[in-house]
Amino acid sequence: MRKITEVLRLKFAAGLSHEKIARAVGLSKGAVNKYVSLAEAQGLSWPLPEGLDEAALEARLYPSRGGVRERVEPDYGAMHAELRRKGVTLQLLWAEYVAAVGDGAYRYSQYCERYRRWVKRQKRSMRQVHRAGEKLFIDYCGPTVAVLDGAGGPARAAQIFVAVLGASSYTYAEATWTQSLPDWIASHQRAFAFFGGVPELLIPDNLRSGVTKADRYAPEPNATYLELARHYGTAILPARPYKPKDKAKAEVGVQVVERWILARLRHQTFTSLAALNAAIAELLVELNERAFQKLPGSRRSLFERLERPVLKALPEAPYELAEWRRCRAGLDYHIQVGDCAYSVPHALAGQLLDVRLSGTGLEVFARGKRVAAHPRGSAGQDCTRPEHMPKAHREHHQWSPQRALDWATAIGPATSALVARQLQQQLHPEHAYRAWLGLRKAERSYGAARLEAACERALAINSPIYRSVASILKQGLDIQPPLPAPGEDADAAPPAHANLRGSRYYH
């Protein structure tokens, strides 16, 4: 107010210009214009009325301020919570604050500065601002819980899975037997069901079940874990190795679960995993409803207000656990998975393929494209699909004794009898398949009638083998008169023939 008084003296008593007054007092020319205009509007000149001190002068020039200016402190805790919502900024909160308190509001710069001072007085973990519904931090507790065997066997150590939402710190915990992939995936599914939705990002630690290759710049999540993320419409962003700040929420969440759940269960004895999880679930409700020390509300109230409305909806169908492996197809175009062999298209022989194993089936992928699917086989069983074979192999695979007999019967009785004798004489039916293929080739070359005649002649000379039939056809003997049946007169005159010489030829 002293500068305003001096401005009025120099204006009305000394008669100086606004520009000279501004230089003399150290104000801008615009400020001088404003103060002079306010004084003239109130009918003030120089000298000022007697008894008009600085407070009275301010009340006269700014009647709407009611004299002494009183600032209304913002609710910094509520501001900190609101900033976790998507799209909420300090500028927006300041505008709402001004609309609520009017002239008692701080200017925007002071509003921001006072909030930053408040944040610095809080715990370091509060310096990170997590958007509602954005991140879920996942880890395991270090301590385990002993579960006794009801039958008197040795106790087993149960692992404690912890998942914490970033904006509200709403926490889920459960016990599993291991940290292996099936338990890891199942714990995620139960956590999503507990939250009633799915966040945008999953922030796991670099355990083997979640991350195949831990890398600061290009981590590689496990293939099954990636498939889970795709099913639920979320993404995986593993914490950087040796960077605990990346998963500070998980670290704090694990610490809270250890202090407020595991420590309280240390004197209890559990004989089953279900009993342990029931006790954890009961204490988990209490943990999430505990009031914050320096913030308004609790984990549950923040979750209900901030995060539940923005979480992604759960998919209609549950995720089916599937394990991914890499297998190389052998020269027999089969991959070996456990004790079973499964066929793939023969063109993929020798290639490295991705295999997805579920509880009921197996799928094979080449460069992301599914190339084969089989039901899970039992131990020692080979699963082969005919369409995966080359043509020659497919035909061989379809051979059977009955098929050979059916074909031979269609040719004629002699061919049928010859094939039957071949099948009987071999130790294994497959040993006769080569002869059968030769007979089929002979049919295509000479016709069914000549093949039937050749088989009849081969039976007559007691040589039911493929080479005899082939020789008969090649020499044309099948078109000669048939040989005498067994038992016929051996002295009968031979048939007339140009090459018959008679007994006189040798005299």
Phi, psi angles (nearest 5°) of residue 27: -120, 170
Say if residue 506's pLDDT is above 80. no
> What pLDDT does 274 receive?
92
Assign residue 154 a region: left if phi > 0, alpha if psi is -120 to 50, beta otherwise? beta
Characterize 142-181 residue by residue with b for buried, 16 or more Cβ atoms within 10 angstroms of its Cβ, and e for exposed.
Answer: eeebebeeeeeeeeeebbbbbbbbbbbbbbbbbbbeeeeb
Band (pLDDT 50/70/90 cuts) for residue 425 is confident
pLDDT of 67: 46
Q: In one letter, which amino acid is 159?
A: Q
pLDDT tens profile 441-463: 899 899 999 999 999 989 988 88
In three-state form (DSSP H/G/I as H, E/B as E, the rest C), the secondary structure along 207-272 is CCCCEEECCCCCCEECHHHHHHHHHHCCEECCCCCCCHHHHHHHHHHHHHHHHHHHHHHCCCCECC
Residue 491 has pLDDT above 60, yes or no: no
d(CA 418, CA 478): 15
Residues 6+ apart with CB under 8 A from 365: 353, 354, 355, 356, 371
pLDDT confidence band for 30 (50 / 70 / 90): confident
More confident residue, 190 or 95: 190
Contact status, residue 469 vs residue 444, Cβ threshold 8 Å? no
pLDDT digits (tens, 9 = 90+) for 147-156: 987 666 788 9
Query: What was the pLDDT predicted at 176?
Result: 94
Measured at the CA of 307, the angle between CA 304 and CA 311, to 5 degrees, comes to 120
Q: What is the identity of the amino acid at 293?
A: Q
Peptide bond connecting 47 to the previous residue in cis, omega within 30 degrees of 0: yes
Report the sign of the C-alpha dihedral through residues 24, 30, 33, 38, in that order. negative
Mean pLDDT of 333-337: 86
Q: What is the pLDDT of residue 126?
A: 44
pLDDT score of 397: 60
Beta-bridged to residue 291, according to DSSP, are: 298
Q: What is the pLDDT of residue 38?
A: 77
Mean pLDDT over 190-201 rounds to 93
Torsion 455-458-460-464 (CA) sign: negative
Task: Please answer whether residues 119 and 80 qualify as being in contact, where contact means their C-beta atoms are separated by less than 8 angstroms.
Answer: yes
**Proportion of the chain above pLDDT 90, given as a percent:** 19
Distances 357 to 180, 215, 230, 256, 425 between C-alpha atoms, Å: 16, 27, 17, 37, 45
* Spatial separation of the C-alpha atoms in residues 468 and 472, rounded to whole Å: 6
Residue percentage of the chain with pLDDT more than 70 = 81
**Per-residue pLDDT for 69 more than 60?**
no
The yes-or-no verdict on residue 159 having pLDDT over 60 is yes
Question: What pLDDT does residue 493 have?
Answer: 57
The token duo for 251 is: 């670290």
Element (H, E) at 173: strand 171-176
| Dihedral of alpha carbons 250, 251, 253, 254, sign | positive
Give the mean model confidence (pLDDT) for residues 471-495. 71
Residue 421: what pLDDT?
87
Asked if 92 and 138 touch (Cβ cutoff 8 Å), the reply is no
Is residue 19 within 8 A of residue 11, CB to CB? The reply is no
Greater confidence, 282 or 435?
A: 282
Mean local confidence (pLDDT), 323-344: 85
* pLDDT tens profile 211-267: 655 445 445 677 888 888 889 999 888 876 545 555 566 678 888 898 889 988 888
> Packing angle between helix 433-446 and helix 448-460, nearest 10 degrees?
130
**Residue 203: per-residue pLDDT:** 86
Judge whether 307 and 133 are in contact, CB under 8 Å. Answer: yes
Going by DSSP bridges, is the β-strand pair 382-383/340-343 parallel, antiparallel, or unpaired?
parallel
CB–CB of 25/7 below 8 Å? yes
> What are the E-state strand segments in 271-403?
323-328, 334-337, 340-343, 352-357, 361-366, 369-375, 382-383
What tens digit of pLDDT does each residue of 346-396 get? 888 888 999 888 878 888 998 888 999 888 877 667 788 888 888 766 666
More confident residue, 462 or 35: 462
Of 65-69, 330-334, 397-401, 502-506, where does mean pLDDT reach its minimum? 65-69
* Strand-pair category, 334-337 with 340-343: antiparallel
Nearest Cα neighbor of 128 from 290, 250, 301 is 250
CB 199 within 8 A of CB 135: yes
Q: Are strands 135-140 and 156-165 parallel, antiparallel or unpaired?
A: antiparallel
The rounded distance, in Å, linking the Cα atoms of 340 and 382 is 6
| Cβ partners under 8 Å of residue 444, min gap 6 | none
Of residues 136, 363, 131, 306, the one with CA closest to residue 232: 136
Report which of residues 435 and 443 the model is more confident about: 443
pTM given for the model: 0.51
